[in-house]
Amino acid sequence: MIKVENLTKRYAGQSAIKDLNFEVGQGEIMGFLGPNGAGKTTTMRILAGFMPPTSGRATIAGFDVFSQSLQARARLGYMPENVPLYNDMRVNEYLVYRAALKSVPSRRVAERVGDVKELCGLKEVEKQLIGTLSKGYRQRVGLADALLHEPDLLILDEPTIGLDPNQIRQVRELIKNLGKQHTILLSTHILPEVEMTCSRVIIIHKGRIEACDTPDNLLGKIRQAGGVVVEAKTASDNGAEELKKIPGVRNVMTAVDGEWKIFSLRVESGLDVREQIFRLATDRHWAVRELTQRRATLEDVFVELTHPDLV
Amino acid sequence: MHKFYTLLVREVRSYFHSPIAYVVLIFFLLVAGVDFYFQVSFMNQRQVQYTVQEAFFNSVFFWFAFVLIFPLITMRLFAEEFKLGTIEPLMTAPVRDWQVVLGKFFGALVFYLVLWIPTLLYFAIFLRITHEPAAHSVGAYLGSYLMLLLLGMFYLSIGCLTSVLTKNQIIAAVISFCTITLLFFLGLVQYILLDVSSATRDLLGYFSAIEHMVTFSRGVIDTRPIVFYVSMTIVLLILTHQAFQSRKWRL
């Protein structure tokens, strides 16, 4: 659906993105991750035909986004960051206008506008001026607009930014459902969102792709994959010293909660050391009130790739 | 064509969604109405060689309000879209640049024409009350309104160009106001600089909107200004289109 080859964009001498290469297949939900200023919006704007790349090539459904821009644009629904809208139009009026602009046949306009209003929960504000809408509703108008012409591909730039937790859930559900019929490229820096919705993830940092894989594979690849949390009363023992001796444990951090000690262990990936910890505790007569394997999250992957000093 | 029409309708509607339209409409008609009243009372008190209709379209009052309305109509066309960021959804929809440029230009032109419709009433009322036509012939009306259309196209296209160059509406308004004022009053230079050669004076006279208005409001339809204004409008719209396309490379 999307094919990006050696895509580069330079602003005033500085590269926003450098030599990007990736593909998004039909029906995938691709998450686009990266810290602020990593080049996510730039890439999406190029794909949406809003600005040309400095060099390289990108195609959507086989149409070059620059030289066959009109055909490419007709096949995608784009929701820009912060959703700029005409504040002086009413929701209904805006959607009808956008439908006409996107070549929805006039006999189908009413039907399509009705459908997207239903889907995005805009029925109750259809007569309201867009300028009076809350951030959440504006976001939904943007999404409804992107869906109007039933595009094969949806490009959503930060679809959940500025929403409250309930709204984030609703939008996430919506995106998941849309993924059944559409190919979706969405950018975000809310990581649980990606884990829950995306079939593949691209992590981009300083204009380069650091990783591109399924969320599960990314978690498998990470060096310090797992961790174990142990809460124990260690009596006279130091605790950390003994735990460090278990093979596979890389380092131990200790926190104190009254007479309990809380140890956070970093463990080599693929190892489960809980049994050894249990044996150690019984041998040394420690009282244990928690022994948990913590799964690595995408957050760990993200931090490791984009900010190694924080690991 | 369908998309052009969609854009045109939105543009015209957006004038009437904002208070600008009503403010411009009311104050413009106020000035035009006062102008008409003054001209008629002036002519009541003395013998003159011209008609009410000629007097109306050639007064200083009229010129003043006239040059001011163009920046007000055009300043928001592109600048507002750049500022609000609505240019992004607009240009990522499958529309061509020229459709947007023409949609905006003709949207402004439609609003400009709406502004003039009430002035037709003045002449109708004048006829009804005095039982005398305000002009010698129908051609005089046609000429005047044709000249208004031509000047309107030319000055609106200047406004389009200045609006596409900036995202600040005030800057767009100031530049187009100054440009339009200079062009409009260029014809007066021949009366001010008496030492310039007659060739220069003739040349300036050829550009003079005031001169053109005098001719056309008498009902004399001269083709030279028609060609001049139509071709200048086309040139300015081509420049606007070029400047609009260049935004992609300036980002």
Question: Is residue A255 domain-resident?
Answer: yes
Question: Is residue A260 domain-resident?
Answer: yes
Quote the number of domains for chain B.
1
| Angstrom distances, CA of residue B242 to CA of B81, B239, B245 | 17, 5, 5
How does residue B60 score in pLDDT terms, banded at 50, 70 and 90?
A: confident
pTM, two decimal places: 0.85
How many residues are there in chain B?
A: 251
Q: Which residues of B touch A48 (CB under 8 A)?
A: 92
CATH number of the domain enclosing A149: 3.40.50.300
How many residues are there in chain A?
A: 311
How does residue A235 score in pLDDT terms, banded at 50, 70 and 90?
A: confident
Taking all residues of chain B, what is their mean pLDDT, rounded to a whole number? 88
Question: Residue for token digits 């919705």?
Answer: A197
Looking at the fold, whether A151 and A58 belong to one and the same domain comes out as yes
pLDDT in tens, A217-233: 777 665 545 678 889 88
Task: Find out whether B105 and B154 touch, Cβ atoms under 8 Å.
Answer: no
**HEC secondary structure over chain A:** CEEEEEEEEEECCEEEEEEEEEEECCCCEEEEECCCCCCHHHHHHHHCCCCCCCEEEEEECCEECCCCHHHHHHCEEEECCCCCCCCCCEHHHHHHHHHHHCCCCHHHHHHHHHHHHHHHCCHHHCCCEHHHCCHHHHHHHHHHHHHCCCCCEEEEECCCCCCCHHHHHHHHHHHHHHCCCCEEEEEECCHHHHHHHCCEEEEEECCEEEEEECHHHHHHHCCCCEEEEEEEECCCCCCHHHHHCCCCEEEEEEEEECCEEEEEEEECCCCCCHHHHHHHHHHHCCEEEEEEEECCCHHHHHHHHHCHHHC
- As a whole number, mean pLDDT of residues B110-117 equals 93
Residue among A11, A88, A101 minimizing CB distance to B93: A101
Write out the two tokens for A42: 């730039």
Contact yes or no for B93 and A80 at CB 8 A: no
Looking at the fold, whether A13 and A106 belong to one and the same domain comes out as yes
Question: Residue for token digits 């139509």?
Answer: B230
Write out the two tokens for A105: 């046949």
CATH number of the domain enclosing A233: 3.30.70.1340
Taking all residues of chain A, what is their mean pLDDT, rounded to a whole number? 86
Q: Which residues pair with A256 in a beta bridge?
A: A261
Quote the number of domains for chain A.
2
* Residue A310 pLDDT: 58
Task: Find out whether A98 and A144 touch, Cβ atoms under 8 Å.
Answer: no
Task: Find out whether B29 and B63 touch, Cβ atoms under 8 Å.
Answer: no
Question: Is residue A301 domain-resident?
Answer: no
Question: Is residue A170 domain-resident?
Answer: yes
- Return the higher-pLDDT residue of B18 and A221: B18
Rounded distance between C-alpha atoms, residue A27 and residue A126, angstroms: 30
Task: Find out whether A40 and A210 touch, Cβ atoms under 8 Å.
Answer: no
* Residue A226 pLDDT: 64
Is B131 an interface residue toward A (CB < 8 Å)? no
Contact yes or no for B91 and A50 at CB 8 A: yes
Q: What are phi and psi of A125, to 5 degrees?
A: -115, 15
Closest CA to A192 of A46, A100, A292, A300: A300
Rounded distance between C-alpha atoms, residue B86 and residue A95, angstroms: 14
Best probe of the B interface among A76, A86, A95, A106, by most B CBs < 10 A, is: A86
Scanning B204-243 for CB atoms below 8 A from A yields none
Looking at the fold, whether A191 and A239 belong to one and the same domain comes out as no
pLDDT in tens, A157-190: 988 887 788 878 888 888 888 888 889 999 887 7
- As a whole number, mean pLDDT of residues B174-199 equals 81
* Residue B126 pLDDT: 87
Best probe of the B interface among A51, A108, A109, by most B CBs < 10 A, is: A51
Question: Residue for token digits 């999406």?
Answer: A44
Looking at the fold, whether A64 and A163 belong to one and the same domain comes out as yes
pLDDT in tens, A281-309: 888 888 898 888 876 677 777 777 777 66
Looking at the fold, whether A17 and A112 belong to one and the same domain comes out as yes
How does residue B177 score in pLDDT terms, banded at 50, 70 and 90?
A: very high
ipTM score for this prediction: 0.86
Write out the two tokens for A102: 């996107």
DSSP conformational letter for B168: -
* Residue A259 pLDDT: 84
Question: Is residue A304 domain-resident?
Answer: no
Looking at the fold, whether A291 and A171 belong to one and the same domain comes out as no
- As a whole number, mean pLDDT of residues A58-87 equals 92
Looking at the fold, whether A244 and A117 belong to one and the same domain comes out as no
Print the domain residue range for B230.
2-250
Print the domain residue range for A242.
223-295
Looking at the fold, whether A211 and A262 belong to one and the same domain comes out as no
* Residue A306 pLDDT: 74
Last residue of a domain, one of A174, A191, A220: A220
* Residue A309 pLDDT: 64
Q: Which amino acid makes up residue B57?
A: F
Q: Which amino acid makes up residue A191?
A: L
Looking at the fold, whether A273 and A172 belong to one and the same domain comes out as no
Residue among B9, B90, B248 minimizing CB distance to A51: B248
Chain A residues with CB under 8 Å of a chain B CB are 11, 45, 48-52, 70-71, 73-74, 76, 78, 80, 82, 84-89, 97-98, 100-103, 142, 145
Rounded distance between C-alpha atoms, residue A138 and residue A115, angstroms: 17
Question: Is residue A261 domain-resident?
Answer: yes
What order do you get walking across the sheet with A2-11 strand by strand? A14-24, A2-11, A55-60, A63-64
Last residue of a domain, one of A199, A220, A241: A220
Looking at the fold, whether A13 and A139 belong to one and the same domain comes out as yes
